Structure 1
């Protein structure tokens, strides 16, 4: 009533909460800054734990990029029966080319096959002895660049089952093995992400728990005067936020630095094999996801640690 008579208005709930969060936001940052060495060591450990799965993720993405750059050399050779003439073979090649998993087809007649073999083998005089052409007509099928190993194998099985086909051979199976290894690598990254995420939560939770114990008497006084748990918990939650954010930034920097160091030798190796491959680091979207993961883990671990300690701390 006195506030109304004096012309003062009480701030609304949203404004009061905004002011309170802003105060705690900078208060928690200042508290961490007063112990820079301990905070830096904690952030470094968190950053290394987050950088390991992020680095493996970057490695698998670069290997996948190499695999897709070689994907155009992956081909399926469909050997046609002798009864299939050139017109039927050309029509079949067009029919196969309409498949969504096929990037292109090339029909090679029996005469073209013999001419290519004669030019590449060096047995031209020996082939002149043969009365009939022993080589079949071939349809060379190039799968789509983004087709998975399973899809390419299914395409090969369908081509092999064609009534006009004598056999369908998948060339360069090593590339399919590369995709299988990449799939294993992605699963390993997922497992390590979960395990190291739990490790990050343990690190931040233990750091926050020690901070709670150091302020035990202050927390008991706040409970005596009726402060709610949400008010007591808030500074520690923001501390977890800062630890997670700092760890995410360090992890991003570690991954970027590692890629920068290895990009030179990787580029030289790629040039030696006639490839224009360039190593890439974390894209912005994945980097922001890494920061968000660090913040989320920091906030969650701080909430768990503080909530458990507040239950145990009672004013005496």
Structure 2
């Protein structure tokens, strides 16, 4: 009342809530800093557990990126009808060059097809016995890179419906096998990340449990004077926050170091295959997501453990 009469207002609820949480946040950090070795080892174990799925994610992402770059070797072969003249076939190839989803086109006439078949097949003398050229004219269409399987399939169906086309064929069986392997690898990374995430929660939960036992008498006193469970639980939750935060940063650093160590040999291996692909590590967004995942796991592990342990502690 005196505050109101003096022209002063009480602190707002949000301000009080923020001040209290900031106080506990830095209090828990100071408590961890008083035992740096134990806290550092805990954060290191959490970082290693988080770095394993993050490293696998980087590997799968790079393999997927290389797989998409190999799409440039995909070709759709459009076998034209025998009634289509060469001039019309060349014009159609030029028209398709500007179509959506098409990178380049190459027109191969019936005569060119026969010459190539004669050189590659070894049946030159047998082909001389033929009165007519049985091979059709072909338009080789290279789809634009970075297209999904569905987009390439839609392009194939669209080209096969052209009136001049007798048959459209896309040889992408090897690409489908690669994508199937990558799909399995991505699912495996998800499973490993889930299991190691649970392991992180167990590690943090065990650390918090020891901290709760060390402060058992203090908790009993707080409960005896009527402190709510949220108040008692808050310092331990922020301890879990700091463990998860530190573990996430360590995991990001480990993945970055591993990527840097593998970058040169990976580039040398790619050069042997005539490729200029480079190993790409975690992006800033992925790195921040990794740190956020560590914070969430740390908070969740601390919450589950401290809620159960505090419920079991009763003032004597």
TM range (shorter): 0.7 to 0.9
What is the CA distance between 1:267 and its match in structure 2?
0.4
Secondary structure of the corresponding residue to residue 70 of structure 1 = helix
Secondary structure of 2:280's counterpart equals coil
Q: Residues 111-168 of structure 1: CA distance to partner in whole angstroms, max 9, x if unpaired?
A: 3333555677788788666543332111212223222234434544665576654443
| C-alpha distance 267-141 of structure 1, shift in aligned 2 (>3 A) | same
**Tell me, what secondary structure is at the counterpart of 1:79?**
strand
What is the deviation of 1:293?
Answer: 0.8
Partner of 1:230: 230
| Deviation string, structure 1 residues 83-126 (Cα, Å, up to 9, x no partner) | 33334534654676676444343332213333555677788788
Deviates more, 1:132-141 or 1:160-169: 160-169
What is residue 216 of structure 1 aligned with on the other side? 216
Q: Please tell me whether the aligned partners of residues 104 and 142 of structure 1 are also in contact (alpha carbons under 8 angstroms).
A: yes
Structure 2 distance, partners of 1:315, 1:12, is: 33
Show the 5 A alignment for 1:140-219.
140-153=140-153, 155-156=155-156, 159=159, 164-171=164-171, 173-219=173-219
Deviates more, 1:148-157 or 1:102-111: 148-157
- Tell me if the contact between 1:149 and 1:179 (Cα under 8 Å) persists in the aligned partners: no
User: Is the CA contact (8 Å cut-off) linking 2:69 and 2:146 kept in structure 1?
Assistant: no
Structure 1 unaligned segments of length 5 or more: list them. none
Q: Secondary structure at the match of 2:31?
A: helix
Measure, in 2, the Cα distance between the counterparts of 1:162 and 1:9: 78
CA drift at 1:19:
2.5
| Length, aligned pairs only | 316
- Provide the C-alpha distance between the structure 2 equivalents of 1:247 and 1:185, rounded to a whole number of angstroms: 25
Correspondences of 1:1-316 after superposition (within 5 Å): 10-90=10-90, 93=93, 100-117=100-117, 130-153=130-153, 155-156=155-156, 159=159, 164-171=164-171, 173-316=173-316
Structure 2 CA distance, aligned partners of 1:165 and 1:221? Answer: 86
Summarize the Cα distance change of 1:134–1:6 in structure 2 as closer, same or farther, 3 Å threshold: closer
Q: Taking structure 1 as reference, are residues 104 and 95 closer, same or farther at Cα in structure 2, changes over 3 Å only?
A: same
Bigger shift: residues 57-66 or 5-14: 5-14
Residues 224-233 or 167-176, more deviating: 167-176
3-state DSSP of counterpart to 2:168: strand
- Three-state SS of the structure 2 residue aligned to 1:294 is helix
Distance 2:298 2:210 in 1: 15
* Cα pair 2:74 2:171 within 8 Å, conserved: yes
In structure 2, do the counterparts of structure 1 residues 314 and 62 end up closer, same or farther at CA, with 3 Å as the change threshold?
Answer: same
RMSD, aligned α-carbons: 2.9
